[in-house]
């Protein structure tokens, strides 16, 4: 049996996992990222978590084939550097070099959304596909693209930024600097913003009462209140699904993948989200009259996708 280490570097946590050749995570170790702080300190903690995960798996580092890292931002996999990550404050960080100063193993890096997409491709919802796109609906909208079994990252390692394609010209401000991005409308953050706007317009709504009772608005608020009979909440949900369908239709029209999988907490809403979204996509997708169309599925691996995908970057590269 062969073993690999996958590290998921996030803005909040660093999680390392030991993965066997059958895609099973057999042990993990994690610590807080504690940003902002010197990049070398973060790299040292990543190496430490890798060693700790291997110990937790009751293995030795000699039994590990390589280490893969999924990181936010632009990961230059050829030079082994993180060119830029606004979440972590990294700029031209020699991450591979830093980790290899502690662990004498091959180290591979990739953007975290690409790593998660690769995890779904090798072991999750897109397993068996040749071409796949994975979209994660979280704080932002992350994208990962697999073409002919390989991660597509563009000529400058910044490809697959699906969340920063515009679906509403001159629309809501996006954190990237543009207006009307897919991310600004279809992320959990975008859904919360639309819910907050609806509450301001309808202070007597069930959503407004929910905010007063719970003291906060979440991505679940509009869906929960819709189920409670709030027509204004239903309007928010319908608006959110309309934008989500538009972004997914655009993605399918460009790539025509075998499978498009979506993940993130919003997907836990299940059929109330998926059924109307799929219905809209089916009506709007350019290939609606074709015999074969893209399968839209829910991601299977959850937070483990990034670890598994990172662990198998050695094979991807």
pLDDT at 24: 96
Confidence tier at 297 by pLDDT (50, 70, 90): very high
- Alpha carbons 102 and 47: distance in angstroms, whole number: 7
pLDDT at 290: 86
pLDDT at 139: 85
Tokens 């998926």 — which residue? 274
Give the CA-trace dihedral at 275, 279, 282, 284, to 10 degrees. -130
Q: Looking at residues 269-288, what average pLDDT do you find?
A: 94
pLDDT at 289: 84
Residue among 294, 243, 250, 293 at smallest CA distance from 266 = 243
pLDDT at 104: 95
The model's pLDDT over 52-87, given as tens digits with 9 standing for 90+, comes to 999 999 999 999 999 999 999 899 999 999 999 877
pLDDT at 221: 97
DSSP 218-279: -TTHHHHHHHTT-HHHHHHHHHHHHHHHHHHHHHHHHH--SEEEEESGGGGG-HHHHHHHHH
pLDDT at 88: 87
DSSP 59-78: --GGGEEEEEEEESSEEETT
Tokens representing 305?
Answer: 């996708």
Tokens 């998660």 — which residue? 116
The model's pLDDT over 222-253, given as tens digits with 9 standing for 90+, comes to 999 999 999 999 999 999 999 999 999 999 99
126-130, 137-141, 178-182: lowest mean pLDDT where? 137-141
Residue among 10, 188, 181, 139 at smallest CA distance from 87 = 10
Domains and CATH numbers, the chain: 3-121+304-316 (3.30.420.40), 128-298 (3.30.420.40)
- Alpha carbons 258 and 187: distance in angstroms, whole number: 24
The model's pLDDT over 172-192, given as tens digits with 9 standing for 90+, comes to 999 889 999 999 999 999 999
């Amino acid at each position: 049996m062969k073993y690999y280490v996958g590290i998921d570097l996030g803005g909040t946590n660093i999680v390392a996992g030991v993965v066997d050749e059958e895609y099973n995570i057999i042990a993990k170790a994690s610590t807080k990222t504690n940003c902002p702080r010197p990049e070398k300190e973060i790299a040292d903690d990543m190496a430490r978590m890798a060693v700790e995960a291997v110990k937790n798996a009751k293995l030795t580092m000699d039994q590990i084939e390589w280490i893969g890292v999924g990181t936010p931002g632009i990961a230059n996999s050829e030079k082994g550097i993180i060119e830029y990550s606004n979440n972590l404050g990294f700029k031209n960080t020699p991450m591979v070099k830093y980790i290899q100063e502690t662990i004498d193993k091959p180290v591979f890096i990739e953007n975290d959304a690409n790593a998660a997409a690769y995890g779904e491709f090798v072991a999750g919802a897109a397993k068996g596909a040749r071409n796949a796109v994975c979209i994660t609906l979280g704080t932002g909208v992350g994208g990962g693209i697999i073409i002919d079994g390989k991660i597509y990252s563009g000529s400058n390692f910044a490809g697959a930024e699906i969340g920063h394609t515009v679906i509403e010209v001159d629309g809501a401000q996006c954190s990237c600097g543009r207006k009307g991005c897919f991310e600004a409308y279809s992320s959990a953050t975008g859904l919360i913003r639309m819910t907050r706007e609806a509450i301001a317009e309808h202070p007597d709504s069930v959503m407004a009462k929910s905010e007063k009772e719970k003291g906060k608005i979440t991505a679940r608020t509009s869906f929960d209140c819709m189920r409670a009979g709030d027509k204004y909440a239903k309007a928010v949900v319908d608006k959110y699904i309309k934008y989500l369908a538009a972004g997914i239709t655009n993605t399918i029209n460009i790539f025509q993948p075998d499978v498009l999988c979506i993940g993130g907490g919003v997907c836990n809403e299940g059929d109330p989200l998926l059924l109307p979204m799929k219905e809209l996509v089916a009506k709007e997708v350019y290939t609606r009259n074709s015999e074969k169309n893209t399968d839209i599925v829910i991601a299977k691996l959850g937070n483990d996708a990034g670890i598994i995908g990172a662990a198998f970057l050695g094979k991807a590269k």
